[in-house]
Amino acid sequence: MAGKAASPGTAVLLVTANVGSLFDDPETLQKNWLREFYQVVHTHKPHFMALHCQEFGGKNYEASMSHVDKFVKELLSSDAMKEYSRARVYLDENFRSQEHFTALGSFYFLHESLKNIYQFDFKAKKYKKVTGKEIYSDTLESTPMLEKEKFPQDYFPECKWSRKGFIRTRWCVADCAFDLVNIHLFHDASNLVAWETSPSVYSGIRHKALGYVLDRIIDQRFEKVSYFVFGDFNFRLDSKSVVETLCTKATVQTVRAADTNEVVKLVFRESDNDRKVMLQLEKKLFDYFNQEVFHDNNGTALLEFDKELSVFKDRLYELDISFPPSYPYSEESGQGQRYMNTRCPAWCDRVLMSPSARELILKSESEEKVVTYDHIGPNVCMGDHKPVFLAFRIAPGAGKRCHRHQRALRETPL
């Protein structure tokens, strides 16, 4: 039975996972990943579960399609998921379309005990009852049960083949309406460029894209409801501030390319102590001598440099972070806790919500912890990103109700 009998309300589990690494080494990484994912499902026993994946299929989707099919089949038919009798899967497999391909995959699972679940048809502008298990792929643009967009090329012109965008679905669960948005924002193309200004130019690009999504989901086309936005935001620590703090007493050596005079490397050395190298910074190198700073107390001392969400403080809410940076972990199977030295570790993967969605979360009056915001697989190699999840309960009667759609609901089963 899903949910804990002592707790009222409907148990919900929202998971975000950049899974690109899983398709580079499917035999080892997928097995570990699925085991850890199933453990979280078993622990929280949700009635309704959403899994938002980014980079689904890996860097070369065409070559990974057989692994994609196996992964989807496993999720839908595994013994660990047998009580989830209804499911919807939306996979953007249109990899040949530079204009539309986002590599996003959204999975929704409904427990057999959950009654009267409805999904919104954006074309018909009414809810439809969810029955059975269905998979939609390839050209999602024609699917009325979601909205999907890839960000325009001019948002990030230096990246010729960006796959960043979002997919939105709307649900009616426990007579409560809410949107779920799977999102993937732009990365930092160069550590050196990110270090130049505070905030970085890349932070500004992400700000623009996220603002576009938020404006889009609350525009006048549809009734406004609560929303959860979860995915790989690619939020980074403010690089200039972090480096200044980590290398307070360091001197900086600048290395330039002989032919172009372009800066290709920065070397930060201690002023004394035999001028020990503290940090080496290149376009795709962030090699700090002491990784423990990112692990001590789950790296939370660095949260003061996690500033990108502050711009949206009136529009997006997040629970307190108590887990370590979710990226970039080593992809070596035996290195579940080690970061790669390619980027400064950061909390890229997040579960955010609208102010009204915050009110949906039922905080139990008992001592039982019913709201959890954490990462998955802390000691296991899950790829370069650790999945992040939010588990909570929707209180009976909470949120914007869907009951006035009942007549349309009964007439249009899905």
Of 299, 298, 240, 230, nearest to 268 by C-alpha is 240
| pLDDT tens, residue by residue, 17-33 | 999 999 987 888 999 99
Cis-peptide into 328, omega within 30 deg: yes
| pLDDT tens, residue by residue, 208-262 | 999 999 999 999 999 999 999 999 999 999 999 999 999 998 999 999 999 999 9
Residue 66: per-residue pLDDT: 82
Beta-strand pair 226-232/176-184: parallel
Tokens matching residue 386: 């650790």
Q: What are phi and psi of 264, to 5 degrees?
A: -115, -15
pLDDT score of 184 more than 90: yes
Residue 7: per-residue pLDDT: 66
What is the DSSP secondary structure assignment for residue 156, as one 8-state letter?
S
Rounded to the nearest angstrom, the gap between the alpha carbon of residue 166 and the centroid of all alpha carbons in its chain is 11
Tokens matching residue 74: 């496993």
| Residue 325 near residue 332 (C-beta atoms within 8 A) | no
- Tally of CA atoms within 13 A in the half-sphere of 360 that contains its CB: 29
Q: Which of 165-179, 267-281, 299-313 has the lowest mean pLDDT?
A: 267-281
With left for phi above 0 and alpha for psi between -120 and 50, is residue 193 left, alpha or beta?
A: alpha
DSSP string, 159-191: -TT---EEEEEEEEETTEEEEEEEEE----S-H
| Residue 400 near residue 225 (C-beta atoms within 8 A) | yes
Tokens matching residue 93: 């497999």
| pLDDT tens, residue by residue, 68-87 | 999 999 999 999 999 999 99
Alpha helix stretches (DSSP H) within 304-399: 355-360
Residue 404: per-residue pLDDT: 44
Of 192, 194, 217, 219, nearest to 204 by C-alpha is 194
Residue 260's contacts (CB-CB under 8 Å, 6 or more residues apart) are none
Q: How far apart are CA 378 and CA 84, in angstroms?
A: 26
Tokens matching residue 67: 């692994």
| pLDDT tens, residue by residue, 79-133 | 999 999 999 999 998 888 888 999 999 999 999 999 989 999 999 999 999 999 9
| pLDDT tens, residue by residue, 185-195 | 999 999 999 99
Q: How far apart are CA 336 and CA 71, in angstroms?
A: 21
Angle at Cα 39 formed by Cα 37 and Cα 45, nearest 5°?
Answer: 100
Q: How far apart are CA 35 and CA 47, in angstroms?
A: 19
